[in-house]
Structure 1
Amino acid sequence: MTSSFANRIGIEHPLIQAPMAGSTTPALVAAVSNAGGLGSLGAGYLEPAAILEQAEEIRRLSDRPYAIGLFVLPDEFDADMKAVAQAREQLDALMAREGLEVRTGLPARWAPRFSDQFAALCEARPAVASFAFGVISPVQMRELHQREIHVVGTATTADEALAWADAGADSVCVQGAEAGGHRGTFLHDAEDAMIGLFALVPLAVRALAQHAPKVPVIASGGIMDGCGMLAAEVLGASASQLGTAFLACPECSAAEPWKRDLLDASEHQITTIRGFSGRAARGLRNRFVEAMPEAVAGLPYPVLNALTAPLRRAAAAAGRGDLLSEWCGQAASLARPQPAAELVARLMHEYRLARRMPVT
């Protein structure tokens, strides 16, 4: 049950709770880490001070290794203000039709500065730093390695896995098409990088074996139980990263309507969505997705993400899951609502049982 990744990090189980930005809490991260997995703080939306505060809370709750995940973005963004005005008008009209009183506004910044977030991550000094949306610079990679922080890069193709290996990543997390939330694609169009996990894992393993044999592969996308973890391992993965499986945990900060909707979700309801953030992401096709005009969906990330934030907060407060960004993976209805530590134990029990099953 040991793996090269688990051994390097010093964790008991080859299990990572995905860094789901906006849904992870220090309590969730600590619970998973204390149970022997690797808890991950999704910090992509957090200001630097909040990253440090939440990292401190995690360390108060746990002395085990944990991870912080960030989105690799430029520090500054140019926005087409005419398109922004049109999007605001359409979003405000949608909120009015749906009975929500909150309206859009122009934020001081479209997103936190990545360089400032990165500095906070270095100061927090987690055992692991994971990244999506792009590759960090050589200087940033050196800064992390000087602090003995293990670097995990997110890839959606074998070419992206190699790009991370060339950049000096210690591990690569391959994100299959089944994965929920934002796509980590950075070398291709998102639509061209929707590769099923059980095709992607062996492709990435083969590519890295030839190019960077010491870089382990982590499997992510649609894994909801211990059998799925073992299947990924058989294909060459050193660990499995699960996100949707933890969304229904009480320690997760996902809105309660979102948690309830996951359990009733049909697999054909889960689709690729751009209308909430401007970047391809996987989640439930709900009222918002069906009502959102294409003009709004055409705004880039993080501009659209900032504009829809008031709507998402108001929808959560009103119990309107149908207006939320209900991110989830392909097998969302397999989620088990139970405390995170119990879920980790259950997953590893299933994993052990699957290992003992005879081959027929």
Structure 2
Amino acid sequence: MRHVLTERLGISHPLIQAPMAGSTTPELVSAVSQAGGLGSLGAGYLSPQAILEQAAQVRAQTDKPYAINLFVMADEFTADAGLVTRARERLDALMVKEGLAIRTSLPERWAFRFSDQLAALREARPPVASFAFDLITPAQLRELKQLDIYVIGTATTVAEAKAWAELGADAVGLQGAEAGGHRGTFLHEPEDALIGLFALLPLAARAVDIPLIAAGGIMDGRAMLAAEVLGAAASQLGTAFLACPESSAAPAWKQDLQQAQDHQITTIRSFSGRAARGLRNRYVEAMSQRAEELPPYPILNALTSPLRKAAAAAGRGDLISEWCGQAASLVRPMPAATLVAELMREYAQARAGLSA
């Protein structure tokens, strides 16, 4: 399966840089792809025009394969006015307490329309498209395949992996409980789908016959090989690339990753309204009370966006969404191409050790 995936994608290494929306840049994506992995542009928060512009920037920097990732959502959202008002009051009060001048406001839109983003993706025509939060429709899948775009779905359970395989996806990214960022769960409650990667891999390998991509807590070449032994065709690393200079993660966030303790990493809803894994920081603790009363994604995500930007600008990592995987403190600040080379050196060394 490893060779099937790498040969089909035209990449040298069984390594995918995770599409971290809000933290990936064209520079990061192109650097990973140019180094032989598959760079992924996290486009879930981007306007259709921005998707086209950033795809063009990637193409200007490399002719190697790359991916664009989108969040599968409804085109329109209806917000509960009462929930929105109460959430704004709580958020504004917290900003006052923390000494930040920014306040919430009602955005022009809660999120960009998925259908418009998907149209932009088709126009950009990346070699690979990946999706999270739900299945795309059979018609959408056919349109992508007509453009010879390789489709990767995201699953957090065996049932979700089977759903993507039955739809006709080319591969499935398995998001273990250890993975940072938003959970891709769509058939279950997120709390019921926190399955460890090394348990999920062999279970999914028994259930589907398309390539599996392992994601969650993988920070070095040894873990990449371990995932392969359990059935993965490739590994997808996100947190490992957050500290690279090409990443747009806030400096305070990058610094906090190096000091993160394993028990501080938890499932959080209070930043976006959707379950995500990251550091339990000052904001998370402050908003933990009555978290169930906060509006869902993408409503809350839109409300907190200006606050997160202001906190990042002020160097307040403790007030932003510091998404990360379970082994965050193993992060290594270095250029993306250097990190790819180091990961593959470790992978080859571990592989040679198995053969000895």
Regarding TM over 0.5, the answer is yes
Paired position in structure 1 for 2:3: 3
Deviations 1:59-107 (A, max 9, x none): 0000000000000000000110111001001100000100000100001
- Unaligned runs of 5+ residues in structure 2 are none
- Does structure 1 residue 319 correspond to structure 2 residue 315? yes
* Within-5 A mapping of 1:64-75: 64-75=64-75
2:190/2:275 contact within 8 Å kept:
yes
Alpha-carbon distance in 1 for matches of 2:110, 2:193: 26
Paired position in structure 1 for 2:42: 42
Paired position in structure 2 for 1:268: 263
1:3/1:239 contact within 8 Å kept:
no
State the SS of the aligned residue for 2:74.
Answer: coil
Post-superposition offset of 1:297: 5.8
Alpha-carbon distance in 1 for matches of 2:268, 2:278: 7
Alpha-carbon distance in 1 for matches of 2:285, 2:143: 44
* Within-5 A mapping of 1:57-68: 57-68=57-68
Post-superposition offset of 1:3: 2.2
Alpha-carbon distance in 2 for matches of 1:124, 1:257: 33
State the SS of the aligned residue for 1:74.
Answer: coil
Post-superposition offset of 1:35: 0.1
Post-superposition offset of 1:294: 2.0
2:38/2:65 contact within 8 Å kept:
yes
Deviations 1:138-175 (A, max 9, x none): 11001100000000000000000000011110000000
Q: Aligned letter for 2:12?
A: E
Paired position in structure 2 for 1:114: 114
2:181/2:323 contact within 8 Å kept:
yes
State the SS of the aligned residue for 1:3.
Answer: helix
Post-superposition offset of 1:299: 1.2
Q: Aligned letter for 2:308?
A: R
Paired position in structure 1 for 2:351: 355
Paired position in structure 1 for 2:14: 14
Q: Indicate which of 249, 252, 259 corresponds to 1:257.
A: 252
- Does structure 1 residue 134 correspond to structure 2 residue 134? yes
* Within-5 A mapping of 1:151-162: 151-162=151-162
Q: Give the count of matched residue pairs.
A: 355
Paired position in structure 2 for 1:81: 81
Considering only aligned residues, what root-mean-square deviation do their CA atoms show, in Å?
1.2
Alpha-carbon distance in 2 for matches of 1:109, 1:255: 25
When normalised by structure 1's length, the TM-score is: 0.97
Q: Indicate which of 257, 263, 284 corresponds to 2:279.
A: 284
Post-superposition offset of 1:358: 4.2
State the SS of the aligned residue for 1:357.
Answer: helix
Q: Aligned letter for 2:77?
A: F
Alpha-carbon distance in 1 for matches of 2:221, 2:144: 32
Taking structure 1 as reference, are residues 114 and 20 closer, same or farther at Cα in structure 2, changes over 3 Å only? same
Q: Indicate which of 323, 335, 338 corresponds to 1:339.
A: 335
State the SS of the aligned residue for 2:172.
Answer: strand
Paired position in structure 2 for 1:234: 229
